[in-house]
Chains A and B, each alone.
Chain A
Amino acid sequence: MSEQSQPTRPPLIRLLLVLLPLAAMLASFVWIASLDPLRSFNNGAPPVEVLTVERTILDEAGIQVLVRAGGSEAMNVAQVAVDDAYWSFTQDPAGPIARGDTVWLRIPYPWVLGEAHRVAMVSNTGTVFEHEIAVAVPTPKGSAGQMRLQALVGAIVGLLPVALGLMFYPAMRGLGRQGMNVLLALTVGLLAFLLIDMTGEALELSADAAALFQGAAMVWLAALASFLLLMAIGRWRGQPEGLALSFYIALGIGLHNFGEGLAIGGAFAAGSAGLGTFLVLGFALHNVTEGIGIAAPILRIRPPLWSFAALTLLAGGPAVLGMWAGSLAYAPQWSALALAVGAGAILQVIVEVSSYLMRQNLDRQAVLLSPAVLGGFLGGIAFMYVTAALIKV
């Protein structure tokens, strides 16, 4: 086969060739919209109405919900009932809610601390959209004290375990080939657990988002895009290893912690707080392996001291940011997106750490199924699974 030589066209002709189909598209849309040839399909059915609650705020002024309309036409919230009682409410901004738009519904309802409430929004066609407030607690506000408290939580959940894990660094130095293999495999195992956990959580969250965000597709595509982008960036100058690989692991874990922080902040705002120290310790234990994983690729080199601080901040710091963002501006679709991006990043580090592990050994592929590597991998997964049992409720 030889290269087909196309006769080159003048630029003006090319432009016209592009404009022609565009003009045809525009004309056909105008024709369809103006003549409405599909009107015979109109069978008198009421418009499809969809209303998704994205945020709930409980405070001294009552209950406020942020709702997003997603029906086939603009829709109206005619009445609001809380616990089967029609209640006065204001809508901000008022009027019909266009598809994709959000409004606040403010209901001066005397909610009861620690109890459940059910908000029912009735549209003008009589369709009812129910929203459950499972445990009513005051929504945290963006005060300095509140932000500090959340930063502390984020630090305990994100920074502390990573720092603790990195403190194993001196002890891990001097490990032999087998020890390194176990450690790297352990890292891949814990990352694999995080990948599965995050993907599941992202999909679950995305199911709560308005349909127009196409939850599942958004999660898979965002994860794929972040994976491909990070792979491309990572391999800009050869395959990453050493400190660079550690930073990629820290970035992946950081994105994971950001997504987790979002979910935590959101759940905190939604009122599912109320636990003991035991679970906090469980959480710290669960995340300690993250620090060990980050340290694994730099055991053979002597990185500068600042890099440990930087790795800790990169991996753990996003938890704090996530907490703030999640509690102040929680929405299921954004949390799902953040988790999906994190999942892609985790997948990238799984690939890179595995490839690093193979390069470290002469027998390449065969090492993957060696007892040390398989044991480390399964051990990592098992450790994460068991410690996760402490924090799943």
Chain B
Amino acid sequence: MPADTAPSVDPSRRALLVGGLVAAGGAAIAAGSARSQSAPDTMAGHDMSAMKPDPYAAPMPGMAHGDMTTVGLVDHARNGFDPTPMLTDWDTGTTEFLPDGRTLRTFEVDAIDKEIEIAPGIFFPAWTFNGRVPGPALRAKEGERLKIIFRNYGSHPHSMHFHGIHSARMDGVPGAGLIGPGEEFIYEFDAKPFGCHLYHCHALPLKRHMHKGMYGLFVIDPDPARQTDPALAAAAASRALGSPENANWQEMAMVMNAFDTNFDGANEIYAANTIGQAYMNVPIRIEKSRPVRIYLLNVTEFDPINSFHLHANFFDYYDTGTTLTPTQRTVDLIMQCQAQRGILEFSFAEHEDGMYMFHAHQSEFTELGWVGMFDVRGPEA
């Protein structure tokens, strides 16, 4: 009971009376406008009889903060893609040699309308590349000739706009590779510069075509032969997919994305690789003796930036991946604006076995799905 100015009355009676008056006061204000709310009044006792007013003070069975989770599991088989295998599912296309000895690498990409389950029970009418969101993680090597055969099986005009160096004719904007439903276009250019890039549909309105799911990683591995400095050549070799130096690395592709399921210009689900909380439900297995490299891309619409935070560890970061020396050393958080991307390198070799969390450090994104776990163990475990 709050302190009161009333003179001494039998305490129990007075308590009842004041409680009643306080309650009546609440009643009175409510009667005037049942739904208008007032700020909590310090005078009011919030007399709720025997109830514990503070939920933190009360025993709350099953109410630990570990309940911050989506409920149920996504049917990955129905979606046709699974976020765990997707981490290492690089699309390297098919190769042949050109008369001049260069490699011609050919990718085939189809635009397909598809409803996908982005969080347990929540379906999103996506526009996809090859039926998956994000689209295939295309991977080539610096200096190769690239040929991308793009077919539009969707209901709207689409394109593939590559972040790379190419001619205007191959840019994937209206008038240069933007095709209508049922049409086909072949993009051709050289793979340069090396780095961690992306492609996305550049049909207009861009925002809608992006957030409907039309984006993917486009990684160009550096050619070690082009490096004169032995240290840089070694770094390049470790990044060249298929090389012996690369074999020891645990590489994974992560695309930070989000979905505006009610089309109000704000996202309902945030994720790495589309499925909210996928890597909480199935933690990513990390063999702790081997180094980790993440090709990270941000394609979140509506929110200007996204971020990646690693728990209990620090990493080196190569912004855009176009350098062989880190652009940021020993950080545990990096920011990416829309379409920004980069490479993260770190090791858990000296760590205890355990679950190590990673997530966006915008708490809102984290709690709306963009959070995961690394399950770090030795090879024997």
> In the complex the two chains form, what is the Cα distance from A176 to B63 in whole Å?
70
Name B40's contact: one of A114, A141, A279 (CB within 8 Å): A114
Among B21, B29, B119, B277, the most chain A Cβ lie within 10 Å of the Cβ of: B29
> In the complex the two chains form, what is the Cα distance from A69 to B297 in whole Å?
39
Evaluate contact between A113 and B120: CB separation under 8 angstroms: no
Residues from chain A with a CB closer than 8 A to the CB of B277 are: 86
Evaluate contact between A391 and B34: CB separation under 8 angstroms: no
For chain B residues 44-71, which have a beta carbon within 8 Å of chain A? Answer: 44, 46-56, 58-63, 65, 67-71
Given contacts A79-B120, A141-B51, A274-B41, contact A149 B21 (CB under 8 A): no
Evaluate contact between B27 and A273: CB separation under 8 angstroms: yes
Closest A residue to B37 using CB positions:
A134
Evaluate contact between B32 and A153: CB separation under 8 angstroms: no
> In the complex the two chains form, what is the Cα distance from A78 to B23 in whole Å?
38
Evaluate contact between A275 and B44: CB separation under 8 angstroms: yes
Residues from chain B with a CB closer than 8 A to the CB of A81 are: 268, 367-368
Q: Give chain A nearest CB distance to B249 CB in angstroms.
A: 33
Evaluate contact between B122 and A110: CB separation under 8 angstroms: no
Q: Give chain A nearest CB distance to B46 CB in angstroms.
A: 6
Interface assignment of A376: CB less than 8 Å from any CB of chain B: no
> In the complex the two chains form, what is the Cα distance from A135 to B35 in whole Å?
11
Residues from chain A with a CB closer than 8 A to the CB of B65 are: 110
Q: Give chain B nearest CB distance to A198 CB in angstroms.
A: 11
Among B23, B27, B31, the most chain A Cβ lie within 10 Å of the Cβ of: B27
Interface assignment of A73: CB less than 8 Å from any CB of chain B: no
Q: Give chain B nearest CB distance to A55 CB in angstroms.
A: 13
Name B67's contact: one of A88, A111, A278 (CB within 8 Å): A88
Interface assignment of A276: CB less than 8 Å from any CB of chain B: yes
By secondary structure, the A interface counts as mixed
> In the complex the two chains form, what is the Cα distance from A36 to B281 in whole Å?
43
Interface assignment of A104: CB less than 8 Å from any CB of chain B: no
Residues from chain A with a CB closer than 8 A to the CB of B71 are: 79-80, 88-89
> In the complex the two chains form, what is the Cα distance from A268 to B40 in whole Å?
13
Residues from chain B with a CB closer than 8 A to the CB of A355 are: none
Name B28's contact: one of A59, A60, A280 (CB within 8 Å): A280
Interface assignment of A143: CB less than 8 Å from any CB of chain B: yes
> In the complex the two chains form, what is the Cα distance from A141 to B261 in whole Å?
37
Interface assignment of A167: CB less than 8 Å from any CB of chain B: no
Interface assignment of A108: CB less than 8 Å from any CB of chain B: yes
Interface assignment of B131: CB less than 8 Å from any CB of chain A: no
Cβ proximity bits A272-310 to B, threshold 8 Å, 1 near / 0 not: 111111111011000000000000000000000000000
Residues from chain B with a CB closer than 8 A to the CB of A272 are: 26, 29-30, 34-38
Residues from chain A with a CB closer than 8 A to the CB of B48 are: 137-138, 140, 146
Interface assignment of A264: CB less than 8 Å from any CB of chain B: yes
> In the complex the two chains form, what is the Cα distance from A323 to B34 in whole Å?
12
Evaluate contact between B121 and A280: CB separation under 8 angstroms: no
Interface assignment of B276: CB less than 8 Å from any CB of chain A: yes
Residues from chain B with a CB closer than 8 A to the CB of A62 are: 55, 60, 63
Evaluate contact between A156 and B21: CB separation under 8 angstroms: yes
Evaluate contact between A273 and B55: CB separation under 8 angstroms: no
> In the complex the two chains form, what is the Cα distance from A265 to B120 in whole Å?
37
> In the complex the two chains form, what is the Cα distance from A383 to B128 in whole Å?
68
Evaluate contact between A268 and B23: CB separation under 8 angstroms: yes
Evaluate contact between A274 and B26: CB separation under 8 angstroms: yes
Interface assignment of B33: CB less than 8 Å from any CB of chain A: yes
Q: List 20 A-B contacts (CB under 8 A).
A: A61-B61, A84-B368, A85-B68, A86-B70, A88-B69, A125-B122, A126-B261, A135-B40, A137-B46, A145-B49, A146-B48, A152-B16, A152-B24, A201-B34, A268-B27, A274-B40, A323-B27, A391-B29, A393-B29, A393-B38
Give the A-binding residues of B (Cβ under 8 A): 16, 19-41, 43-44, 46-56, 58-63, 65, 67-72, 119-124, 259, 261-262, 264, 268, 276-277, 364, 367-369
* 4 nearest A-B pairs in the assembled complex, by CB-CB distance: A126-B261, A273-B26, A267-B30, A78-B121
